Structure 1
Amino acid sequence: MHHPGPPRFAAVGDDVELAPRSPDTDASEDYSWSVVEAPEGSEAALGDAAVEHLVPDEPGVYGVELDAPDGQHRLTVRAFAGERHPVRFEVDADEVAHEDADDVWVSSSFNEHVLGTIRASRDGDAFVYETELPPGEYKAIFVPDDNYEDAAFERRRVDGSDRPRISLDAAVEDGEVRFEATPLPGPTNDETAADLDVEFYVDDRDRASFEGDLAVDGTVATCDLDAVGDQLRVHAVAVGKRHSVADTAAVDADGAVDLPNDAPEWIRDATLYSIFTRSFTGEVDASFEAIEQRVPYLEWLGVDALWMTPIVEAYSPTVYTDGWEWGGPHGYDTLDYFDTASDLGTVEEFESLVETCHDHGVKVIFDLVINHTSRHHPASQFADAGMAEYREWYGFEDGEPAHYFNWRSIPNLNYDSLAVREHLLDVVDFWAEKVDGFRCDVAWGVPHGFWKEVRSRTKAGDEDFFLLDESIPRDPDAHELEFDVHYDTPLYHAFRDIGNGDEPASHLLDAMREDARQGFPPHAVQMRYVENHDEDRYVDECGRAAHEAAVAATFALPGMPMVYYGQETGMTHFREDMDWGGDEELTALHRDLIATRDDSELLRRGDLVDVEWSAPGDRAVAFAREHEGERVVVALNFGDEPVDVTLGEHVDDTDLVTGDAVPTDQENGETTVTVESFALLESEQ
């Protein structure tokens, strides 16, 4: 079926991609789009391509129609007014090595880091760029020509309204289906839940078989179960000063309820372990067989899922074999999506590795790289040669394939091409049968509509399939029927700022509040991490004491902790060979943290709550976790020396991670705890 999928929710001025699902490239001329409904005053229009882009110009409901080989399909697009505010980015001209540059360009998330689209202006002794943006955090990089090494940047927060949030549930009782929404206002907004409107939308794919309509009363929508065809999917949006990420609930004809936006339960309990594939085996040449021999270590450490950097045939492993220039043999420059890299082994040997992981209770996460290919991929070479059928695989600008940053060697794939979409959906199907999930590289560069189709396909085959997006900065809209887990970029940056002494330790709590401020629904899972394959090692940059505190935080906070190989052994280079004979004390600490979280439903499911606390200096912070009447207080110390943290309640003196007694002093309803790097203590209140 070519129906384009669930309703889309956007702000005026956003680009809404429209594409048929399960496309047939041979029938590309048989797809066409039209606008059949639009708000008064709208002049939004569509072209005649198989993949089109609707840019709403007025708030309201748009109806678009796809003519496809299997019939006509209607799609609802709801556009909201949105909110934008003026912002000025400015850097000192002396900070940018511009003397020999032809231009200074602005690179940021708001232009997808495409150089050549925004030219900086000179204003006296500064380079500046002025625009209007939605509320949020932004980093604008001022780049001379394409030289990021000589660039300067400024971070700015655009103040304004937080996005509201919503959760949607469904129940069936006495033949009635009840969809109930729980709207939540933005945490810093001057509005309450009662101030929010809730809009319900029946999925266009189910409209024909749904005999009737929803009866809406505030935050509740109802219908008769007898009116439901095979399935009824309902989407709800909270609307205040801004609109929320939509949530979805589904009911089938038998009354079974599904919440397709929720992550599988195993994800909420899991610890993820990430490896740079060609370094994990240490001085032994990396191969699937060599990695398979080391799977017992993963079970011993206690992790639940293994994320491997790319294992398909790629260019970098064939040329960057003797050093780390250009990132070493990373594999993010694909040559063949359907074959494994020859230096690692065969597809069959990879499947043997997966089977062994499963035997040891470890799931395998495949690094899906579909934003771009290598410049040496056959399709890219054919496009460079002028072959028309492959020219459309890549977006060309001034004769050069489009790319992000200065990544000329990895050109972007063109998702306006049905051939590209069909090819990559085949890639998704091929690997989804062999692994337990995808980590999706440069997810922010691939259209939201395509990720919605990827989710639909993978979850149809395995409802427990894992989907993690690399969206930097993270994007709450990626939780709208797309991904289960998201990079917690605010917390990552907070760890770095705290560890470097640029922010107080209490900044950690500010970063945690960003989940709600940005509009992530309460059920969204965030990946908590201190380092990864793209970043310098935390222990090298910030020191051992801060490293222990940050790692403990990833296990003590809500979310999914991720351990990057060598983090647990004290490695100081981000991609070099695994140091198997490293810091045994640090390794033991990671094992203890993993085991403590595994044994504690409170740490895996509990709410994050504030506590009363004080400490000298700014290297300490405290918070609590609560669940079903239990409460644990967590104190962290990012400093090099122990610090006395005074808590506004009585706590037990036994640390839940180490089992050791922690020096405490109780007086007048308070407890003073001497914290070396961390302490997890049961509350006695």
Structure 2
Amino acid sequence: MHHPGPPRFVTVGESVELAPRQPDPDMTAEWQLVERPAASTATLGDGPVCHLEPDAPGAYRAELTAPDGTHEQVVRAFPGVTETAQFSVTQEDFEHDDDTDALAVADRAIVIGKFNDFTMGTHWAEREGDEWVIETDLPPGTHHAIFSFDGSFESTATDEVTVDGPGRPRVELTGTTADGDLVVSADAHAAPSGSEPEVEFYLDGRDALEESAVLIDGDELRVPREALPGTARIHAVAVAERHSVADTLVVECGRESGETGTGKTGSVSRPADPPSWASDATIYEIFVRSFAGETVDTTFEAIERRVPYIESLGVDVVWLTPVQASPTRHGYHITDFFDTAADLGTREEFESLVDRLHDAGIRVVFDLVINHSSRDHPAFQLHRAGVPEYADYYERIPASQDVSDVDWAGEDAPGYYFNWTRIPNLNYDSLSVRRWMLDVVDEWRDVVDGFRCDVAWGVPHGFWKEARERVKADDPGFLLLDETVPRDAAFAENEFDVHYDTDLFDTLRDIGTGDEPASALFEALDATVEHGYPDRAGHMRYVDNHDEDRYIDECGGASLRAAVGATFTLPGTPMIYAGQERGVEQQRGTMRWHDGDNALTDFHRRLVALRSDHAALRAPGVYPVSHTVETGDSDRVVAYERTDGDETLIVVLHFGDGTVSVSLDSAVGDTDLLSGNPVGSDGTVAVEDIVVLPAASGR
């Protein structure tokens, strides 16, 4: 079915792509905008993939004429809440190699950030005296900008601004039956500092449910059972100063498509929720080519022989960095999306590794790289060489926007992010590309248990929504993990299950370096609500990954233990980056097998086991615990309570050197559940890095 999918919810000025599903590169498909707000002058272009940029609040209705009929796509646009903000840096802010002459005479600088998708050459800061300054409109929140003079990142500076304003509200739908009718209730929550939201319900154009059959009363929607079709999808958003991430219910009545009748309502499911196993899991990321050791080439067979070690850690999921054909050590420059890298092994050897991990009770997450390819991929070579069949496979930008030193063939350049000139962006306005990348999804989804989606923010939302329904149709437990940096709640709307928690990552770094007090981790957790993530959304908590300098290198071993302790005792899905537990100091350094830190490894094992054994550590909700630091630096200590209703635990973290003495206002046991050692009495405990204590009574 070529129907473009569920209703879309955006702000005025935010472009939304409209595309047929199940694309056939040879199909004929055209869009027409048949309804728009009275104040709008928005239009749609020609072709099967179009972009609508709402210019006024209200509902827009587009029709897609495709080989299987005419389909409707509703786009609801809400007023944007933005403020003009200014980024600025001085010459002293730049990191450079003592070459100040170029800086002294530069009239302007390239600026990238989330506001322009980290795209070089679109935004420039002009020099004003000793500063380079740029203004742009930004929504509420904290924003970062990177300044560069030549696009090489050899000399950069950064600035941060905070725009005041409300966060996003949240909404959760529940479905019940009353007298055989379907009753959908919306539980809407105001954003911090936001007003109470109202709820808007939307039907799905793929279903035969008629709007005239639906009764809406405030936060409740009712459908008589005789009006229910075989499948009914109900969507809702909470609306205040800003709009929420939409929530969805799917009602299956067991009838043929298009039929209605007086049968039972059937099952009600929540398609946007993560798999139930994800919140209980621990992820172990392996940077593939550094895992086997100093003198042994890493292959699938070499990793398979080391599965007993992975198993000994007690982890539930292994995330492997890219295993497809690539000329690079890191593997993100894909040259063949359908085969494994020759230096790692054959497809059969990869599947043998997956089977071995499955035998150990460990799921496998595959690094799905579909925002770009290597510029050495045959498709890109044919594209740049003017082969007509590949003309629309990659993004193209005006040569005037390109700031690289590459002499690109032709009058234009490829689109790319940051300074990634070797990995050009695929063009998702092409049906051929969409079909190609859906084939890649199909190729690997039956082999592994989930995808970690590289540069998820660079792929259109509509594609991710289609991919999600595709992989979940046969396996609802399939995991989708997004790399969205910085984090963005929009990717929780029927797209991804688990999300990078960049707020906690950055805050734990700031705590480790002493730039923030340990209590700042509560603000990082509060940011999840501020961003508007649904309560059921999953979050990956981590201190290291292959794209960042190692925490131990930046912050030291003492802070590392406390930071890792935080990731395992706060809600979410903890992740260990291979080598973190062995004391590896290099970002993508070789695994330390013979000379690793065994005590640190054992510390990680005990944390994995503790979290597995105590449901309180996997439950939602974190409650600060009043305490007094009797000896030591109080800014380096934080305490909180975790409970599942049956058990209550008190966690105390110390991010400094040595041991501190902490008095707790709560009555606790005197034995640390993590180490098994006594830690004190009468509510006073000795804390080196982390202690986890049973509370005498819970909330």
Question: Structure 2 length as normaliser, TM-score?
Answer: 0.93
Q: Percent identity?
A: 52
**In structure 1, what is the equivalent of residue 531 of structure 2?**
518
Task: Tell me how far 1:630 sits from its aligned partner.
Answer: 2.7
Q: What SS does structure 2 have at the residue aligned with 1:148?
A: coil
Please tell me whether the aligned partners of residues 107 and 127 of structure 2 are also in contact (alpha carbons under 8 angstroms): no
- CA shift digits 1:232-269 (9 cap, x unpaired): 11011011111100011111115101101110111011
- What corresponds to 2:408 in structure 1? none
| Aligned: 1:257 with 2:258 | no
Specify which of 118, 124, 127 is matched with residue 129 of structure 2. 124
Q: Which amino acid aligns with 1:456?
A: E
Q: Which amino acid aligns with 1:256?
A: S
1:620 aligns with one of 637, 644, 647: 637
Moved more, 347-356 or 606-615: 606-615
| Residue 24 of structure 1, CA deviation | 0.6
C-alpha separation between the residues in 2 aligned to 1:346 and 1:147?
A: 36
C-alpha contact 1:211 1:227 (8 A) present in aligned 2: no
Q: Is 1:419 matched with 2:432?
A: yes
Aligned 8 A contact 2:108 2:127 in 1: no
Counterparts of 1:436-447 in structure 2, within 5 Å, are 436-447=449-460
- Alignment of 1:276 onto 2:290: no
Q: Are the counterparts in 1 of residues 108 and 126 from structure 2 also a CA contact under 8 Å?
A: no
User: Any stretches of 5+ residues in structure 1 without a counterpart?
Assistant: 317-328
- 1:673 deviates by 2.1
Cα distance in 2, alignment partners of residues 480 and 645 from structure 1: 42
**Secondary structure at the residue paired with 1:410?**
coil
**Could you tell me how far apart the structure 2 residues matched to 1:475 and 1:452 are?**
15
Deviation per residue, 1:308-357 (Å, 9 max, x gap): 000000121xxxxxxxxxxxx00000000001000111111111111111
Which one is further off, 45-54 or 654-663? 654-663
Q: CA deviation at 1:290?
A: 1.0
State the match for 1:315 in structure 2.
327
Shift of 1:172: 2.5
Separation in 2 of the partners of 1:102 and 1:313? 43
Task: State the match for 1:202 in structure 2.
Answer: 203
Deviation at 1:535, TM superposition (A): 0.9
Which residue in the other structure is 1:363 paired with?
363
Q: Which amino acid aligns with 1:93?
A: Q
CA offset digits 1:385-410 (Å, max 9, x no partner): 11122131111222211111111111
Distance in 1, matches of 2:278 and 2:226, equals 35
1:455-497 CA-partner distances (Å, limit 9, x unpaired): 0100012110000000000110000000000000010000111
Specify the SS of the correspondent of 2:635: coil
Residue in 1 aligned with 2:88?
Answer: 90
Matched, 1:590 2:604: yes
SS in 1 for 2:245: coil
C-alpha distance in 2, partners of 1:252/1:396?
Answer: 44
Indicate the SS of the match to 1:25: coil
1:105 aligns to what?
A: 110
Count of aligned residue pairs for this structure pair: 661
Per-residue displacement from partner, 1:268-299 (whole Å, max 9, x unpaired)?
11000000011111132111111111112222
Counterparts in 2 of 1:211 and 1:147: CA distance versus 1, 3 Å: closer
TM-aligned CA distance change 1:663 to 1:338, over 3 Å: same
1:599 corresponds to 2:613: yes
SS at match of 2:634: coil
TM-score (norm 1): 0.95
Counterpart of 1:531 (choices 539, 544, 550) is 544
- Alpha-carbon distance in 2 for matches of 1:63, 1:572: 54
Deviation (angstroms), 1:627:
1.4
Matched with 2:472 is 459
SS in 2 for 1:222: strand
The question of whether the paired residues in 2 share the 8 Å contact of 1:395 and 1:402 is answered with: yes
Instruction: Give the conservation status (yes or no) of the 8 Å contact 2:368–2:453.
Output: yes
Note the C-alpha offset of 1:101. 5.6
Deviation at 1:610, TM superposition (A): 2.4
Distance (Å, rounded) in 1 between the aligned partners of 2:661 and 2:176: 50
Letter in 1 for 2:142: E
How far apart, in 2, do the equivalents of 1:626 and 1:214 lie? Answer: 41
1:659 to 676, 679, 695: 676
1:543 aligns with 2:544: no
1:406 matched to 2:412? The reply is no
SS in 2 for 1:242: coil
**Helix, strand or coil at the partner of 1:338:** strand
Q: Cα distance, 1:653 vs. partner? A: 1.3
Q: How do 1:279-290 residues align onto structure 2 when only pairs under 5 Å count?
A: 279-283=290-294, 284-290=296-302
* One-letter code aligned to 1:594: V
State the match for 1:236 in structure 2.
236
1:179 aligned counterpart, secondary structure: strand
Which residue of 2 is the match for residue 326 of structure 1? none
In the other structure, the counterpart of 2:156 is 151
1:211 is displaced (CA, Å) by: 8.1
Q: C-alpha distance in 2, partners of 1:556/1:429? A: 36
Q: Are the aligned partners of 1:102 and 1:144 in contact in 2 as well (CA < 8 Å)?
A: no
Residue 145 of structure 2 is aligned to residue 140 of structure 1: yes
Partner-residue secondary structure (3-state), 2:37: coil
Amino acid at match of 2:199: V
Q: Secondary structure at the match of 1:149?
A: coil
Bigger mean CA offset, 429-438 vs 178-187: 178-187
Specify which of 51, 54, 57 is matched with residue 56 of structure 1. Answer: 54
* Superposed displacement of residue 100, structure 1: 6.8
Q: C-alpha distance in 2, partners of 1:645/1:387?
A: 70
2:60 and 2:75 in contact (8 A); partners too: yes
- C-alpha distance in structure 1 between counterparts of 2:392 and 2:640, whole Å: 53
Cα distance in 2 between the residues matched to 1:137 and 1:22: 38
* Whole-Å separation in 2 of the counterparts to 1:525 and 1:531: 18
Name the amino acid aligned to 2:130. D
Residue 297 of structure 1 is matched in structure 2 by 309
